[in-house]
C-alpha cells in the first residue's frame, strides 16, 4: 500500500478507519493491528527515518505507522526560528514512505488550533522549567500541548520519540503517566553522522566552519563517557588485583612516580574512598567541560548555554556520589544556530 497524505482531521479519521478495517491475510487469522505514531516538525532526516523504522518493526506489517508533520508555533519563543524553520513536505513524504510509514498527517496551523491560540494548555511543571525550559520559557508547555492533541487525533497504541531530545522525551513520558494517556511511549537512540554530530534539522543552517565547531558538543559527551569508562575499568582492576598504599609509597621512594600514582589510584579504587574529586560525576562533568571550554577559546562563534548531568526522572542535577542512570546534556550556540545533544550514562555499572 502506498503512502497516504492527510491534511485535515476528517481526512485523518477516514485514513485511520481504512487502515483499521484492512482485511486479514487470506492464509491466516485477522491480525491484532496496532497503530504507531512518529511526531515530527518536518525537514525529515535519517534520525526521523530511524524512528519510523523502529515503529514499523514494533507494529509489524499488520499495523499502521503514521508520521505527523507540523511546525508547532506554541513551542517557539520570541526571536526563535519559527519563520526560518525548514518546510520540506515533498521530500518528507518520500523519506517517510521509504522508511515504512503508511500515512503522513500534515495539518495547517488553523486545523490544529481552529480557534486560534488555545486558552487551555498542558503545563510541563517543574521539570519543564529546567535546562531547555529555562533557556526557552514556555517551550515545553507548547510542546506538550501539541503532543497531547496529536495523540488524541491519531489515537496510537505506541508513540516513538528520539533520545536526542531527552528532556522532551522525559516530559512526554511523565505527561502520559500523570494524565493516563492510553499509549506506550518508546525512546529511540540518537542517530549521528559518521563524525559523531547528532542529526538535527537545524544542522542545515551551519556553514562548513560552524559544522566543524559544532562537533565540540558530541566530542565533549564522548570524552565524558570515556572518562566514566576509565573509572569503571580502574575499579574492576582494583577488585581483581588489589594493591596497597604501602606499595605506592615504596615505588615513589624508588623514583617510579608514574607507577606509584597508578598503584595509588588502584588502592583507593579498591577501598572505595577516592582520594580526590577526580572520580564520579565531578570527573565526568570536568572531562566534558575541558572540550567545551577549548571550543569556546578557539571559536568566537561557539557559546555554551549549559552542560548538565541530570537524573533522567526529573532532570535535576545528580550529586558527585551518584550511582545509577544519568543523562549528560549540553546546549550551545554555533553562530546563529542553537544545538542540543546528550548521552545516557550509568554510574556504578562495573561495581
**Integer CA distances (angstroms), 73 to 166, 251, 275, 309, 350, in order:** 21, 65, 51, 29, 45
CA distance 269 to 238: 6
CA distance 215 to 129: 27
CB 161 within 8 A of CB 186: yes
CA distance 169 to 175: 10
Burial bucket for residue 26 (CB in 10 Å: 0-12, 13-18, 19+): exposed
Specify the 3-state DSSP secondary structure of 222.
helix
The CB-side HSE value for 30 (13 A sphere, CA atoms) comes to: 8
| CA angle in degrees (0–180, nearest 5) for 121-69-47 | 110
Among all chains, which residue has been given the C-alpha cell 542553537?
Answer: 338
Q: Of residues 48, 264, 268, 322, which has the active-site annotation?
A: 48
CA distance 112 to 8: 9
Question: Which residues fall within 8 angstroms of residue 43, CB to CB, at 6 or more apart?
Answer: 85, 86, 87, 88, 92, 201, 204
Among all chains, which residue has been given the C-alpha cell 612516580?
Answer: 257
Question: Which residues fall within 8 angstroms of residue 1, CB to CB, at 6 or more apart?
Answer: 102
Is residue 268 flagged as an active site residue? no
CA distance 49 to 47: 5
> How large is the greatest C-alpha to C-alpha distance in the chain, in angstroms?
83
As annotated, the active-site residues are: 48
Amino acid at each position: 500500500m502506498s503512502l497516504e497524505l492527510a491534511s485535515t482531521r476528517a481526512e485523518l479519521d477516514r485514513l485511520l478507519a481504512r487502515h483499521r478495517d484492512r482485511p486479514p491475510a487470506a492464509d491466516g487469522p485477522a491480525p491484532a493491528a496496532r497503530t504507531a505514531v512518529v511526531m515530527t516538525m518536518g525537514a525529515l532526516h535519517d534520525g526521523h527515518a530511524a524512528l519510523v523504522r523502529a515503529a514499523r518493526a514494533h507494529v509489524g506489517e499488520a499495523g499502521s505507522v503514521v508520521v505527523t508533520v507540523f511546525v508547532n508555533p506554541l513551542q517557539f519563543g520570541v526571536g526563535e526560528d519559527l519563520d526560518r524553520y525548514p518546510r520540506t513536505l515533498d521530500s518528507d513524504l518520500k523519506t517517510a514512505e521509504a522508511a515504512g510509514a503508511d500515512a503522513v498527517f500534515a495539518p495547517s496551523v488553523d486545523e490544529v488550533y481552529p480557534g486560534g491560540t488555545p486558552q487551555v494548555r498542558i503545563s510541563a511543571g517543574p521539570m519543564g522549567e529546567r535546562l531547555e525550559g529555562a533557556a526557552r520559557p514556555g517551550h515545553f508547555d507548547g510542546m506538550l500541548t501539541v503532543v497531547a492533541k496529536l495523540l488524541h487525533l491519531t489515537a496510537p497504541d505506541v508513540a516513538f520519540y528520539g533520545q536526542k531530545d531527552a528532556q522532551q522525551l522525559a516530559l512526554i513520558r511523565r505527561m502520559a503517566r500523570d494524565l493516563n494517556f492510553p499509549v506506550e511511549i518508546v525512546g529511540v537512540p540518537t542517530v549521528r553522522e559518521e563524525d559523531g554530530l547528532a542529526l538535527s534539522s537545524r544542522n542545515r543552517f551551519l556553514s562548513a566552519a560552524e559544522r566543524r565547531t559544532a562537533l565540540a558538543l558530541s566530542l565533549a559527551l564522548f570524552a565524558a563517557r570515556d572518562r566514566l569508562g576509565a573509572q569503571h575499568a580502574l575499579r574492576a582492576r582494583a577488585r581483581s588485583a588489589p594493591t596497597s598504599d604501602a606499595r605506592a609509597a615504596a615505588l615513589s621512594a624508588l623514583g617510579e612516580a608514574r607507577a606509584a600514582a597508578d598503584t595509588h589510584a588502584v588502592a583507593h579504587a579498591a577501598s572505595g574512598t577516592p582520594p580526590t574529586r577526580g572520580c564520579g560525576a565531578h570527573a565526568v562533568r570536568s572531562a566534558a567541560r575541558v572540550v567545551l571550554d577549548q571550543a569556546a577559546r578557539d571559536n568566537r562563534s561557539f557559546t555554551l548555554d549549559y552542560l548538565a548531568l541530570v537524573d533522567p526522572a526529573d532532570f535535576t542535577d545528580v550529586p558527585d556520589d551518584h550511582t545509577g542512570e544519568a543523562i549528560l546534556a549540553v546546549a550551545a550556540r554555533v553562530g546563529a544556530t542553537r544545538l542540543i545533544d546528550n548521552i545516557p550514562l550509568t554510574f556504578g555499572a562495573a561495581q
